[in-house]
Amino acid sequence: MRNAMYASVCVMVAQQACGINIFAFLSATAFEKRLNKDNRKSLEYTIYFALANHIFIWVAIPLIDRNGRRWLLHYSFLGMAGCLAVIAGCANIKNGNTRERVLLAFTVLFTAVFSIGEGPSAFLVSCEAFPLIVRELGMSHAVFWNFAGAGVISFLIPIMDSKMDDSWFWALFIFFNLLFWRLSQFFVRETQGFPLEHIDETYSTSKLDHEENEGMVEVRIWKRIAKR
């Protein structure tokens, strides 16, 4: 059950730290600041963000069972990091119209990648990882960390956005995506093809043995150091 707890906390905290809530909580403010547009235009872009979030969640439904949760998390974190890198570089685009198009396009792409991968996968991993006998308790624990992360992020993002340089602001969330990309590969087990009643059995083996089979370089290095 400890492995299930690690996996659920990892994906739930990652969902809040990946950067999606910059747009979910403060989208109008974020667009207004970076594009120097009026509130009406910023709200229009907020609608595009919301539509992307709604539409691409339907793409995730067939992919989750066909490709697996771990696979979606793998490409979701990398895709979000890449999109944020482009968004961070928008500040260097001098042409206002070009900057506006690039920012909007990669915001929608970032949202699409999130909605296909980390968005739904976080709750699926959390509710499936725990044994049936404690699944309600385990899921409530995971949701606590998700909501706690949302509270911290909603409090800190406006402060960071006003105090930090724009490049460093986005770089921080790029780092979070890359960090949780590796952590999710370490803690989250692949459950593709497992019936719901037996998914928790994939978390019964030790993390190091499981991830050594997955070929993670960090695990092999750690085991060599531990033997010395």
- Over residues 30-53, the pLDDT tens digits come to 777 776 666 777 778 888 888 998
CATH 1.20.1250.20 is right for the domain spanning 2-227? yes
Most confident of 6-15, 62-71, 181-190, 213-222: 6-15
Separation between Cα atoms, residue 58 and residue 53, nearest integer Å: 9
For 132-175, write each residue's pLDDT tens digit. 788 888 889 899 999 999 999 888 888 888 888 888 888 999 99
Separation between Cα atoms, residue 23 and residue 49, nearest integer Å: 8
First to last CA, the chain: 30
Cα separations in angstroms, 33 against 28, 38, 53, 153, 155: 9, 9, 22, 19, 18
For 182-211, write each residue's pLDDT tens digit. 998 888 887 766 666 666 666 666 655 555
Query: Measured in whole angstroms, how far is the alpha carbon of residue 64 from the centre of its chain?
Result: 15
**Residue 220 CB contacts under 8 Å (≥ 6 apart), including other chains:** 212
- Give the number of other CB atoms < 10 A from CB of residue 128: 22
Tell me which DSSP letter residue 39 carries. H
Residue-averaged pLDDT of the chain: 81
Closest residue by Cα to residue 31 from 94, 80, 102, 85: 102
- pLDDT at position 215, please? 47
Separation between Cα atoms, residue 177 and residue 26, nearest integer Å: 19
**Which amino acid is present at 83?**
C
- Give the number of other CB atoms < 10 A from CB of residue 151: 11
Are 83 and 106 contacting, i.e. CB atoms less than 8 angstroms apart? yes
- pLDDT at position 146, please? 92
Separation between Cα atoms, residue 39 and residue 43, nearest integer Å: 6
For 137-175, give the DSSP string.
HHHHHHHHHHHHHHHHHHHHHHHHHHHS-HHHHHHHHHH
- In the block, residue with structure tokens 């739904």: 120
Retrieve residue 96's tokens: 């206002």
* The length of the chain, given as a count of residues: 228
